[in-house]
Amino acid sequence: MRIPFTKMQGAGNDFVVLDETRTHYGLSPAQYRFLADRHFGVGADQILTVRPATSPDMDFSYVIHNADGGQVEHCGNGARCFMAFVRRQGLTAKDQVTVQTMNRVLQLQRQPDGRVTVDMEAPDFALAHLPFDATGLQAESSGSWQKWPLALDNQGLNTIVKVALVSMGNPHAVMLMDDVDTAPVLTLGPLVQQQGAFPRGVNVGFMQVQDRSHIRLRVYERGAGETLACGTGACAAVVAGIRLGLLDATVDVATHGGTLTIAWQGGSAPVLLTGPATVVFDGEIELPN
Ligand SMILES: N[C@@H](CCC[C@H](N)C(=O)O)C(=O)O
């Protein structure tokens, strides 16, 4: 099967975007993995699929697959690219679009400067929703929140890390670092991700607080490894920093791929994510069966 696609990126988090509003390709996990493969396919951290709305109050449905072929709940940088894609393809002329994800309803707003703001809904702190199994673990209170000590078996060495937990519709564990440049993202990231307390895995954020409105962030993503930026990861890190008493309500997040702006007024207020969304190229590719 030969399919058209668009390659996009948002702050360096890159995507293959598929239009299934008219044709449903019915791709298998192996075919999603092929599209994401940087040597044999197109190359991407995630595959985003635009599908028709499933109810009259939505404009579209939004389906996300990680590079490993697994379907996931949410992708913040992807949501901005989704907005830029549906306008560019002529699927809508609206500046504000409502999309249904696996577990959330997102409002996407195009800004006059071309950036996109995503209303990500409120963060969810229920451990069962992450999900996180706290059996046998004792939380430490810090600010208005808790940090969870996790024991990691690191090549026979028992390492303890402290993580703040938040769901943005997908699961995040956030650690504080003095310097993200030297943070052990590639060693600790997979260890935290595979920790038994996270039965469905987790995205692992490494946050350096510069001042009350600026952080630096690296994220080891579930199903994709370290990416140049993670939108939901940026939201989770800022929410964690605010709850820990370290950050103000609007924060610029510097990632290896660019800057994202996150705003959250606390409580049940939605988290707003603003950043770029860029088309790289269009193409067609023959998929293996
Ligand atoms: N890059 C994304 C997050 C994609 C999903 C994530 N890897 C997961 O498995 O939850 C973003 O910008 O939010």
pLDDT, tens only, 211-236: 999 999 999 999 999 999 999 999 99
Same domain, 10 and 73: yes
**pLDDT band, residue 21 (cuts 50/70/90):** very high
The binding site for substrate consists of: 13, 46, 66, 76-77, 170, 203, 221-222, 231-232
**What pLDDT score does 155 carry?**
64
What are the residue numbers of the active site?
75, 230
What is the pLDDT of the chain when averaged over all its residues?
Answer: 95
Testing ligand 1's pocket by substitution, the residue of 75, 81, 172 carrying the most ligand atoms inside 8 A of its CB is 75
Testing ligand 1's pocket by substitution, the residue of 116, 230, 255 carrying the most ligand atoms inside 8 A of its CB is 230
Q: What token pair was written down for 138?
A: 């004792």
Look up residue 124 and give its DSSP letter: B
Same domain, 158 and 243: yes
Domain count, the chain: 2
Percent of the chain topping pLDDT 90: 88
* Spatial distance between the Cα atoms of 108 and 84, rounded to a whole number of angstroms: 10
Q: 190: domain range?
A: 127-269
67: pLDDT strictly greater than 70: yes
158: pLDDT strictly greater than 90: no
* Check: complex ipTM more than 0.90: yes
Average pLDDT over residues 132-141: 87
Same domain, 93 and 108: yes
145: pLDDT strictly greater than 90: no
Same domain, 21 and 132: no
Same domain, 27 and 111: yes
Report how far apart, in Å, the C-alpha atoms of 201 and of each of 186, 196, 237, 243, 278 are: 16, 9, 17, 23, 29
Quote the pTM value: 0.96
**pLDDT band, residue 75 (cuts 50/70/90):** very high
How do the residues of the chain divide into helix, strand and coil, expressed in percent and rounded to 5?
15, 45, 40
Cβ density class 216-237: b for 16+ within 10 Å, e for less: bbbbbbbbbbbbbbbbbbbbbb
Helix, strand or coil for residue 36?
helix
**pLDDT band, residue 151 (cuts 50/70/90):** confident
Same domain, 114 and 131: no
157: pLDDT strictly greater than 70: no
Q: Give which of 74, 85, 101, 36 is closest to 234, Cα–Cα.
A: 74
Same domain, 83 and 193: no
Q: What are phi and psi of 38, to 5 degrees?
A: -80, -10
Greater confidence, 208 or 146? 208
Same domain, 99 and 159: no
Does the beta carbon of 47 lie inside 6 Å of ligand 1? no
Cis bond before residue 131 (omega within 30° of 0)? yes
How far apart are the two ends of the chain, measured CA to CA in Å? 8
* Spatial distance between the Cα atoms of 72 and 74, rounded to a whole number of angstroms: 6
Same domain, 115 and 153: no
Report how far apart, in Å, the C-alpha atoms of 70 and of each of 5, 47, 63, 221 are: 19, 10, 11, 13
Amino acid at position 175, single letter: M
Residue 135, classified by CB atoms within 10 Å of its CB into exposed (0-12), middle (13-18) or buried (19+), is exposed
Average pLDDT over residues 98-115: 96
Residue 198, classified by CB atoms within 10 Å of its CB into exposed (0-12), middle (13-18) or buried (19+), is buried
* Spatial distance between the Cα atoms of 189 and 222, rounded to a whole number of angstroms: 9
CA of 221 to the centre of ligand 1 (A): 6
CA of 78 to the centre of ligand 1 (A): 8
Give the Cβ contact number of residue 253 at 10 Å.
Answer: 27
Same domain, 131 and 258: yes
* Spatial distance between the Cα atoms of 134 and 137, rounded to a whole number of angstroms: 5
Q: Are strands 250-255 and 225-227 parallel, antiparallel or unpaired?
A: unpaired
CA of 190 to the centre of ligand 1 (A): 15
User: For the domain that residue 180 is a member of, what is the CATH number?
Assistant: 3.10.310.10
Same domain, 98 and 215: no
Q: Which helix (H) or strand (E) holds 112?
A: none
